[in-house]
Amino acid sequence: MKIVSPLTSQPLRLVNSIQHYSWGMRGASAFIPNLLGIPAEPNTAYAELWMGAHPGAPSQVSLGDFQIPLTELIQQHPQEILGSKVISRFGKHLPFLFKILSAGEVLSIQTHPDKKQAKALHQVDPKHYPDETHKPEIAIALDELTALIGFKDITEIFAVLKSYPEITDFFGREIISSFRSKSNESEAKRQLFSAFFRFSIEKKDELLESIDHLENRLLTLSMPTETESLFLELRKKYPGPDIGLFSLFFLNLIHLKTGEAIFLPAGVPHAYVHGNIVECMANSDNIVRAGLTPKFRDIPTLIDILDYSEKRLPILTDNENAERFMYSTTADEFAVQRYLLSDKKTLLVQKLQTPEILICVDGATDLLFTIGSSMQTMRLKTGESVLVPAILEQYKLKTENQAVVFSASTPIQSAL
């Protein structure tokens, strides 16, 4: 391990890891290579850019002529990087993971455990649940995002069962009758979808037959709905008995425009369909998958932790004219801001001794900060990111033309 001493009060440039999951964008139009200004390798998917200190893919910190993993630098200088208030609340770990996510294809239908569930899952199955922490997350559209988020309400579920008898036949009359008789909507959905996912294991032949029947009928339609078209598209990729294909019809299909966001607490089923986003989450990679994936699926755990409530998650709307906009969430580990800078403006940022990661997604800006009595300048161009350690309590952003910068930090009120 390279020993770094002392750590000065200044932004630290990051070199971040790219995750090449199969659903990422490919080719010359791939978002992440274009953001970073690098050529896209042929036949390579560019799915996520990780900025942070997750042990699975920590950012490298550039220090002069060498680099050091951010995880190691935090071990050596926890006080300087994290600050005492964050350490007292979260330990000597960066509490959040910041990402750029670029979905060229549909991700798996999945959910995330809460704190208690995450700890229990990690203890019994650390291979599939590598972290002890939960994973609340926010998705902010950089251009647009199409996503499946949360179960539909009871009225809409009744409509699905009526419109798609192939799905009703898979459930069976007894389950549907019991579902209709329940007065508690949340409990009714729990019973229905518990059977739904359980049958995906117990009745694979029946599931495959029902999927085939629905596919054959939808292929005869001249104007399928957006969800029906998505089903037909994914059926080509998943020809087996994948319960995710039927799940499409029970989840809310949403469309986010640039700057709009959605916050996902534990237990909410979701799948990103297409688009490019800024994503921030608690520093965890715990995923419980339901379908549309060749990866490990944990149906018993999924049934246990899903949120079956009636609430529809709100869309967080960016104020496009605001120089600084904070996306409000209930997360303790992170807060995300968007800076829209232009016309030679200088903006003072007061940090209050917490760690922060900045990434410029468009244009360029200068970070102005003081070391001793000397004013220093660091240029942040499109695709570049920096860690601002807790010991740097304030800095300025100065822009000649224009820049769009996103910031992830640990909110001070949660660290008190």
Domain 324-415 = CATH 1.10.1060.10: no
Q: Catalytic one among 26, 289, 297, 338? A: 289
- CATH fold match for the domains 17-58+96-322 and 324-415: yes
* pLDDT given at position 415: 45
pLDDT at 182: 77
Residue 32: the pLDDT is 98
Is 26 known to be catalytic?
Answer: no
What global pTM score does this model have? 0.94
pLDDT tens over the chain, length 416 residues: 677 778 888 999 999 999 999 999 999 999 999 999 999 999 999 999 999 999 999 999 998 888 999 999 999 999 999 999 999 999 999 999 999 999 999 999 999 988 888 888 888 888 888 888 888 999 999 999 999 999 998 899 999 999 999 999 999 888 888 888 777 888 888 888 988 999 999 999 999 999 999 999 999 999 999 999 999 999 999 999 999 999 999 999 999 999 999 999 989 999 999 999 999 999 988 888 988 988 888 888 988 889 887 678 999 998 877 899 999 899 999 999 999 998 888 999 988 789 999 999 999 999 999 987 889 999 999 999 999 999 998 999 999 899 999 999 998 764 44
Domain ranges of the chain: 17-58+96-322, 324-415
CATH number (3.30.460.10, 1.10.490.20, 3.60.20.30, 2.60.120.10) of 17-58+96-322 reads 2.60.120.10
Look at residue 310 in the predicted model and tell me its pLDDT: 65
Q: Of 290, 37, 310, which Cα lies nearest the Cα of 152?
A: 310
